[in-house]
Structure 1
Amino acid sequence: MKRTVLPFCLIVVVLLMSCGHKKRTSQEPLKPLEVGVMATMDGLPFLVAADKGIYDSLGLKVNFTIFLNETDRDASFETHKLDGIVTDYTSAAVLQSKGIPLRSVMQNDCCLCLVTRVGGKMNSINQLKDINFCTSKNSFSEYAAEFVLHKAGIPLNMVNEPEINQIPLRLLMLQGGQIDATFLPDPYASIAMNIGSHSLITTGDLNINQSTTIFSRQTLKKKSESVKALIKGYNLAIDYLLSHPKSDWGNVLTNQLKVPENVIGLIALPSYRHAQAPDLGEVNKAIVWLKTKKMVKDEYTGTELVDSSYIENDNNPIQVREKIKKILKRHARRKYQ
């Protein structure tokens, strides 16, 4: 009997040491992230999570770079200046088809509005013939433009599609009558309508959503826990946005997205949900469209584009509310110390 006791004790000690080691490992500091977002509403929850101290409470340091056009955003990602970006499936597929190792880890909530030039008389998508319909190359806006033209039965050769990547420039040209229509995200769509543009239809009406967050494979390999914390903070920010008036978070719109104060009250939030797994149906539609545009090779399938493993089940709503209260109290104390 004595011979069996010693090995058993040793096993217990080893197991305890192993458990202790795992605990220390789980408490290692999270590695910082560099994330690029457009000055649009699909990235707002990330920015609110940073502003309200949610990421601080999770022990995550995130530096957000805000872009006004997709070209600069994608170039920063390609040159490894950013770990991840908020983009769309079309842009993500083009980047991956060029040999850039990346994964789409979540779907964001975004809505584009088809707005017309100030003073224009269009009131239906059936009137989109023989106009300057401005888009951004290989992006959600171009995808949505061709989607709505197909819905209206208008051939592409009956529309001039100038490509302008800078969202503020598209807004200015719309205001000046240099273009007739374009898809704009909020807050720019609300700004356009505030100065006299009209909205004909939205991507929500068309039931399409191409917005997603992607990360490089290297980041997912070396900073996976940080990416999980980023998404957790995103979900907490969604709960915050849906439970607090604009007066509590409007400063993010004015200070970071540069929204005029007189427009803030006009902006409607997208139908925000907790982070969703990438929509494979939307991914496939984007790839088929890109192939018709000859922007990706026929052999590109996109089977390695999506990684849904970072999406967790929603937390208990009561627990979430209590957690947000604690985070905001800690943030307020730090702010006034």
Structure 2
Amino acid sequence: MKKFKWTALFIVIMSLIWMVGCTSKGNLNEESQLEKPNTVEKLRLKVGVMPAVDSAPIFVAAKNSYFEELGLDVDVQIYMNAMNRQSALQSGELDGAMTDVIALVNNVQNGFDIKVTTSTDGSFPILVRKDFEEKKDIKVGLMEVSVVNYLADEFLIEEYSMDKIFINEIPARLEMINQGQIDMAVLPEPVASQGELMGLEKRIYNSKDEFSPEIMVFTGDAIKNKEKEIELFHKAYNKAVEEIRKDENIARDILIQELKLNPEVKDKIALPEYNKARVPSKEYIEKIISWNEKVLGKKIDLKYEELVEGKFVK
């Protein structure tokens, strides 16, 4: 009888242990299932672009969900003023931004940790005011330490003596030349073609450089902590370039849509040849550094490796 009681008690105890174990395991599985979605963080980037043709691949990648297909959420912000874009980049509001090599050199020289991860492809015609009569001395609207100042020297310095009027905001530059307050202005496409619709003359000059001064930069913090995101960004960028190469009207249409342009400007836009992600050469960077030294009147002691991060284009 005692033996029967002990056997029954043993069975009851083992049954309770088994039930507790199953319940605990079930609770753990439920908790794991509840926690699992929270452990998967979406990859995100916030980038700033300018109202320029080199923004087209980024717009196309966003519209066609190329970023999304790779699991990347990209917030694209459009800036009309390069100074505002620069402030957003320096304050940490942006992970990366479209800028130019001239600004890159100046920023890194002043201690701002950014690097170019790819060149972009821009187009910068010269707009000429209405009823302009050819003369040696001209007033030119541009931004001081920027691509448009560099290109004004490249395109106009042999033909004209320039009085450079510094106007940071692109719409303000367009308005001043439209009102005849300046003789010429260096403006990015497709804004330049908007001016052409207004009756201004558009002159297109071909650059002798292999690379466009326009670039995409990311902050040192983003390159360190968002390497995967930046890698995917460039992958989607390349896919968009492939699409544009098949039909350049894809770029024209997306620029009109995103920048809210007059549709009549479509066939006037001077598009560049779009290249897949690539970094500018050492020789080109050194040329820009020399120009910066001349404009700023000071020595710039920077190495190529301090300005360029090439691992995203390999």
Task: Give the corresponding residue for 2:308.
Answer: 306
The residue number in structure 2 matching 1:114 is: 126
Aligned-partner residue type, residue 181 of structure 1: M
Q: Distance in 2 between matches of 1:38 and 1:195?
A: 21
1:150 positional shift: 3.6
Q: How high is the TM-score relative to the length of structure 1?
A: 0.76
Q: 2: distance between equivalents of 1:291 and 1:223?
A: 33
Is it true that 1:105 corresponds to 2:117 in the alignment?
Answer: yes
8 A contact 1:49–1:55 mirrored in 2: yes
How many residue pairs get aligned? The number is: 276
Deviation at 1:179, TM superposition (A): 1.0
Normalising by structure 2, we get a TM-score of 0.81
Other-structure match for 2:255: 253
Q: Which residue of 1 aligns with 2:140?
A: 133
Residue deviations 1:303-326 (CA, integer Å, cap 9, x gap): 4101111103xxxxxxxxxxxxxx
The CA deviation string for residues 175-215 of structure 1, in whole angstroms up to 9 with x for no partner, is: 11111111111101112222222233425367662011111
Distance of aligned partners of 1:172 and 1:207 in 2 relative to their CA distance in 1, 3 Å threshold: farther
CA contact (8 A) 1:97 1:296 kept: no
| Equivalent residues in 2 for 1:31-70, closer than 5 Å | 31-70=43-82
Partner SS, residue 311 of structure 2 = helix
SS of the counterpart of 2:102?
A: helix
Query: Is 1:229 the counterpart of 2:217 in the alignment?
Result: no
Alignment check: 8 A CA contact 2:125 2:192 kept: yes
Instruction: Determine if contact 2:109/2:300 at 8 Å carries over to the other structure.
Output: no
Aligned to 2:85: 73
Question: Could you list the per-position Cα deviations for residues 44-69 of structure 1 after superposition, in whole angstroms to 9, with x for gaps in the alignment?
Answer: 11011101111111111000110112
Judging changes above 3 Å, is the alpha-carbon distance between structure 1 residues 203 and 211 closer, same or farther for their aligned structure 2 residues? farther
Q: Is the 8 A contact 2:211 2:280 kept in 1?
A: no
Aligned mates of 2:222, 2:186 — CA distance in 1: 32
Is 1:30–1:225's contact at 8 Å kept on the other side of the alignment? no
Letter of the 1:263 partner, please give it. V
**In the alignment, residue 106 of structure 2 is paired with which amino acid?**
V
Deviation at 1:256, TM superposition (A): 1.8
Name 2:179's counterpart in structure 1: 176
Structure index of larger Rg: 2
Secondary structure of the equivalent of 1:159? Answer: strand
The 1-side partners of 2:172 and 2:183 are apart by: 14
**Is the alpha carbon distance of 1:210 and 1:296 closer, same or farther for their aligned partners in structure 2, counting shifts above 3 Å?**
farther
Distance change >3 Å, CA 281–CA 245, structure 1 → 2: closer
1:84 to 86, 93, 96: 96
> RMSD of the alignment, in Å?
2.2
Amino acid at match of 1:148: F
Q: Which residue of 1 aligns with 2:290?
A: 288
- The code of the aligned residue for 2:68 comes to D
Of stretches 296-305 and 228-237 in structure 1, the one that deviates more from structure 2 is 296-305
The structural deviation recorded for 1:41 is 0.7
Structure 1 contact 30–226 (Cα < 8 Å) conserved: no
8 A contact 2:155–2:205 mirrored in 1 = no
Q: CA deviation at 1:112?
A: 0.9
Q: C-alpha displacement at 1:296, in angstroms? A: 5.6
The residue type paired with residue 174 of structure 2 is L
Q: Distance in 1 between matches of 2:113 and 2:44?
A: 20
CA distance 1:118–1:207, change in 2 (3 Å)? farther
Does 1:200 pair with 2:203? yes
Residue 219 of structure 1: CA displacement?
Answer: 0.4
* Structure 1: unaligned runs, 5 residues or longer: 1-27, 313-337
Identity of aligned residues (%): 27
Deviation at 1:245, TM superposition (A): 6.0
Tell me which amino acid in the other structure corresponds to 1:174. Answer: I
1:97 is displaced (CA, Å) by 1.2
Q: Could you tell me which runs of 5 or more consecutive residues in structure 2 were left unpaired when the two chains were aligned.
A: 1-39
Query: 1:221 Cα deviation (Å)?
Result: 0.8
CA contact (8 A) 2:95 2:219 kept: yes
The question of 1:272 aligning with 2:274 is answered: yes
* 1:134–1:163 CA contact under 8 A, matched in 2: yes
Contact 2:137/2:162 (<8 A) preserved: yes
